[in-house]
Amino acid sequence: MAKNLAKDAGNDAIRELGWWRAHRFLILRRLCQLSIIGLFMMGPTWGILQGNLSSSMLLGTVPLSDPLLVLQTLATGHWPEVNALIGVTVVAVFYALLAPRAFCAWVCPLNIVTDMAAWLRRKLNLKTSFKWSPTIRYWLIPVILLGSAVSGSLLWAWVDPVATLHRGLVFGMGAGWILIALVFLLDLVLVEHGWCGHLCPLGATYGVIGRKSPIRIKATHREACTKCMDCYNVCPEPDVLRQPLKAGDKRVMSQDCISCGRCIDVCVPKVLEFKVRPNAD
């Protein structure tokens, strides 16, 4: 099969597998993201999920804390409250036992924005202007912690578009839309997958947490690959697919994978699937 154009990615899957199968993980992710936003919005009424993505309480008893925020708090020289320490432990253990960067694809509301920018860029055949190193996000973590230590404040909390969007959706956006629009434009015309794939330090933090996570995307039927390139075209981190589709370990072991499942959705010969990590062969 000849390589497909980026703007046509997924069309073969819709035609051969049907619309639902070609979008199932995308739809499930959107339902998960929107449901979590809805639970936060109904927090005062239902009491299921109260607070925000930085600090929240599940069912009124289980604290949940943003790992990067807790690290910044420690960097400022302040010891977090007990609930915050319990919350970050719960979150870290949960995602470490789940799948790499599952937060990014299944919870983070900004993923909806960056996915839309990527889809529009493909459909309009737009060429981005710059190439950045994907390691920038990992370097940003110590920079943010150092800045928090020097300033004595939670530095990233002032400019975090993930928290800004979530707070805006739950409590009202205000001028926060400007920051979200800038992220959208970054991904659309400046750098391909600029935010999630290059800059987001929160995503990098979850990448480190989930680097040994058991659930992985695996090229189980690698020999059936037709090299149509649809999985590369829709993947937010396309470099993670190169090794599993060529030789050696068939699992996507890179901590940069966001476990979104879009590569599975668009693969007509069903080369890829989610598998538990011990299944290496």
Is residue 2 predicted with pLDDT exceeding 80?
no
Mean pLDDT value across residues 19-27: 97
Give the HSE-up count for residue 273: Cα atoms under 13 Å, Cβ half-sphere.
11
Q: What is the DSSP letter of 243?
A: T
Distance CA 40, CA 59 (A): 11
Token pair 């993923």: residue: 111
> Percent helix, strand, coil in the chain (nearest 5)?
55, 5, 35
- The 10 Å Cβ neighbour count of residue 18 is 11
The whole-number pLDDT of residue 216 equals 95
Contact 259, 105 (CB under 8 A): yes
Query: Minimal CA–CA distance to 256: which of 140, 134, 113?
Result: 134
Residue 281: pLDDT band (50, 70, 90) is low
215-218/273-276 β-pairing = antiparallel
- Percent of the chain at pLDDT > 70 equals 98
Mean pLDDT of the chain: 94
Is residue 95 predicted with pLDDT exceeding 70?
yes
Is residue 134 predicted with pLDDT exceeding 70?
yes
Coil, helix or strand for 209? Answer: helix
Is residue 26 predicted with pLDDT exceeding 70?
yes
**Angle ∠(50,199,249) on CA atoms, nearest 5:** 95
Full-model pTM = 0.93
Which of the pair, 215 or 168, is modelled with greater confidence? 215
pLDDT in tens, 241-276: 999 998 889 999 999 999 999 999 999 999 999 999
The whole-number pLDDT of residue 115 equals 97
Mean pLDDT value across residues 73-79: 95
Contact 173, 193 (CB under 8 A): no
